[in-house]
Amino acid sequence: MAFELTILGSSSATPTSERYPTAQVLNASGRFFLIDCGEGTQIQIRRQKIGFGKINHIFISHLHGDHFYGLIGLISTFNLLGLTRDIHIYSPSQLKDIIQPQLDFLKGDLRFNVIFHPLNFKKPQLIFEDKKIEVISFPLKHSINCCGFLFREKQKEANIKKEYIRQYQIPIAQIKDIKQGADFVAANGEVILNSLLTTPPPTPLSYAFCSDTAFHPPIADVIKNVDLLYHEATFTEELREWANKTYHSTALDAAKMAKMTNAGELIIGHFSSRYKEVEPFLNEAQTVFSNTLDAVDGKTYPVKRKQ
Amino acid sequence: MAFELTILGSSSATPTSERYPTAQVLNASGRFFLIDCGEGTQIQIRRQKIGFGKINHIFISHLHGDHFYGLIGLISTFNLLGLTRDIHIYSPSQLKDIIQPQLDFLKGDLRFNVIFHPLNFKKPQLIFEDKKIEVISFPLKHSINCCGFLFREKQKEANIKKEYIRQYQIPIAQIKDIKQGADFVAANGEVILNSLLTTPPPTPLSYAFCSDTAFHPPIADVIKNVDLLYHEATFTEELREWANKTYHSTALDAAKMAKMTNAGELIIGHFSSRYKEVEPFLNEAQTVFSNTLDAVDGKTYPVKRKQ
């Protein structure tokens, strides 16, 4: 199954002619998670030909407009398209107060519920899980309450080697236990070790989203060994003072975090519109972390299993 | 001075890959009026290289999201850019209730006032005027309260013929009166008729915006002889029943209104995303009103003086 990230917007604060404000879709084994929802997100979703009906979990990092102004338009479009699945929004609690007066003005009644799940800004928290995926929020360090999100596959079961099922006549009823680590005791009393019977499952894939934030070492523990890290890089070191003042990161900060967490790959984005080119960001980050890519609106990045 | 209309968005209800929701900028002799403000308007303004600082009068026809969801993002950007001029919004009164909770969450304090001017849905009303331009709102016929807007140059003064100033030694103090219609009495008592002394001023230019609305003959008196008429055409006659049900117009309706008002030119827009091509709209409208153009995002249409 696909595990890939599509960047819908990579600008900071205000959109530019080429970059929309922050929004991303993570396709995690067929689950489509929308992360932030800046103005124009629904236009970008349409351009990427991502079915609107696939999106019903939306994660909003914080309440600066460039991260959520597209939400009401998206919800309105869900309704106009006749979608009926409930929408779950994981966000700062105040978002409800902002959105509700707008929902009340929507053409006709909503055909679905909008369910708000308030984020915890004190500590990491499991905010979503199903059979295959779990999502953990964790506090970032920004000028207002802000969370990052870690999307992680759950640990899969080991694979049992088919030839041993036949050889030892393993009953179907015991296969589940063996996949979960049990040894097998044959009819003659012989114990067949689990390590012989199985091959280990692949390491779960993971993706972490960190925006907006200053360089913030405490998150490294939560997102350690992540396969793909998106970390904001609003400025380069040239504007270090401004980055500090506004609780944003430089490209160097992002790269340091990727190194500190032992990430597989790093994508930087949320570029200030002051910069016309992305090269200075990449050059700066790659001095510390060579596997750095730049976020490009409309581009899809596969989450690759770390070596 | 320029008098021209730039279409920023021409879609209805939901944006498409090619069309943003409704928004337009009218440059009326150097005044930049923003008419409706669908999601993504600020992106389109930037693409058209229209200075954000030029826009401080915004006209919102009605409170369906595709006509105002871009407003909060635009105001936020005004603030982030450090603009300080007050913003005047002419809209249904409830817009303030929707926008205020969002303004309260803007990064930092607003550096300018947002002044709301409630529209009158009972009768036409002069809602703005300065030395050169006046704007009149007028009720349309839609599923919720909705106004159109007429933008009109004020009547200019006549031009006085320079050769007569010399010939009759007209004192500077009297020139203003003559431009406004007075005759001139020479030193010897001779009366020089105004019609000899002056050439008439050009007819004032005018532009009318009618969206969203069903076909609504009562507006014809207000916008009679308009040079350029924008009239919504969400459907073609094929979907006449649906147009009636949703209080929208067909391309034929728009053309009939252009003919009824004796307009110079007609632009149709607000096309339903059901249609992949614009030709059916144009073909239908042009059977009744040949000077029909289609709205194209990013295109500028000069307002030409009617023959």
Q: How far apart are CA B40 and CA B15, in angstroms?
A: 9
- Asked if B76 reaches chain A (Cβ–Cβ under 8 Å), the answer is yes
* Phi, psi dihedrals of residue B37, rounded to the nearest 5°: -155, 65
- Asked if B234 reaches chain A (Cβ–Cβ under 8 Å), the answer is no
Structural domain boundaries in chain A: 3-156+202-302, 159-199
Handedness of CA B205, B211, B216, B219 (dihedral sign): negative
Q: Distance from CA of residue B282 to its chain's centroid?
A: 21
CA B78 → CA B56, B73, B74, B126, distances in Å? Answer: 10, 9, 6, 27
What is the residue-level pLDDT of chain B in tens, covering all 307 positions?
A: 799 999 999 999 889 989 999 999 999 999 999 999 999 999 999 999 999 999 999 999 999 999 999 999 999 999 999 999 999 999 999 999 999 888 887 756 789 999 999 999 999 999 999 999 999 999 999 999 999 999 999 999 999 999 999 999 999 999 999 999 999 998 889 999 999 999 999 999 999 999 999 999 999 999 999 999 999 999 999 999 999 999 999 999 999 999 999 999 999 999 999 999 999 999 999 999 999 999 999 999 999 999 8
What is the model's pLDDT at position B108? Answer: 64
Query: Minimum mean pLDDT among A15-24, A124-133, B99-108: which range?
Result: B99-108
| pLDDT tops 70 at residue A107 | no
Whether residue B43 and residue A64 make contact (CB cut-off 8 A), yes or no, is no
Band of pLDDT at residue A101, cut at 50, 70 and 90? confident
- Asked if B69 reaches chain A (Cβ–Cβ under 8 Å), the answer is yes
Q: Which residue from A69, A76, A105 is facing B98, i.e. has the nearest CB?
A: A105
Strand partners, A160: A198
Choose among B232, B223, B205: nearest CA to B294: B232
Q: Are strands A23-28 and A31-37 parallel, antiparallel or unpaired?
A: antiparallel
Which residues from chain A sit within 8 angstroms of residue B273, using beta carbons?
Answer: none
Q: What is the largest CA-CA distance in chain A?
A: 75
Q: What percent of chain A has pLDDT over 70?
A: 99
Cis check: omega of the bond before B212, within 30 degrees of 0? yes
Annotated catalytic residues of B are 66
Rounded to a whole number of angstroms, the distance from the CA of B298 to the nearest CA of chain A is: 12
Architecture of the domain whose range is A3-156+202-302: 4-Layer Sandwich (3.60)
pLDDT tens per residue across span A136-154: 999 999 999 999 999 999 9
Which residues from chain A sit within 8 angstroms of residue B76, using beta carbons?
Answer: 14, 65-66, 69
What is the model's pLDDT at position A270? Answer: 98
Supply the mean pLDDT for chain A: 95
- Asked if B98 reaches chain A (Cβ–Cβ under 8 Å), the answer is yes
Q: How far apart are CA A227 and CA B190, in angstroms?
A: 96
Helix (H, G, I), strand (E, B) or coil at B288: coil
Q: Mutating which of B22, B39, B276 best tests the A interface, going by the most A Cβ atoms within 10 A?
A: B39
What value of ipTM does the predicted structure carry? 0.90
Choose among A255, A234, A258, A293: nearest CA to A11: A234
- Asked if A102 reaches chain B (Cβ–Cβ under 8 Å), the answer is yes
**Which ranges constitute the DSSP H helices of chain B?**
41-47, 71-80, 95-103, 162-167, 172-179, 194-197, 240-246, 251-260, 279-286
Q: What is B3-156+205-302's CATH topology?
A: Metallo-beta-lactamase; Chain A (3.60.15)
Q: How far apart are CA B290 and CA B238, in angstroms?
A: 20
Q: Which residue from B64, B94, B102 is facing A107, i.e. has the nearest CB?
A: B64
pLDDT tens per residue across span A222-257: 999 999 999 999 999 999 999 999 999 999 999 999
CA A42 → CA A51, A55, A69, distances in Å? Answer: 11, 11, 11
Q: Are B204 and B305 in contact (CB under 8 A)?
A: no
Q: Are B156 and B201 in contact (CB under 8 A)?
A: yes
Whether residue B102 and residue A98 make contact (CB cut-off 8 A), yes or no, is yes
Q: Are A68 and A24 in contact (CB under 8 A)?
A: no
Q: How far apart are CA A83 and CA A113, in angstroms?
A: 11
What is the model's pLDDT at position A142? Answer: 97
Which residues from chain A sit within 8 angstroms of residue B13, using beta carbons?
Answer: 80
The encoded tokens of residue A61 equal: 């990092």
Q: How far apart are CA A275 and CA A292, in angstroms?
A: 18
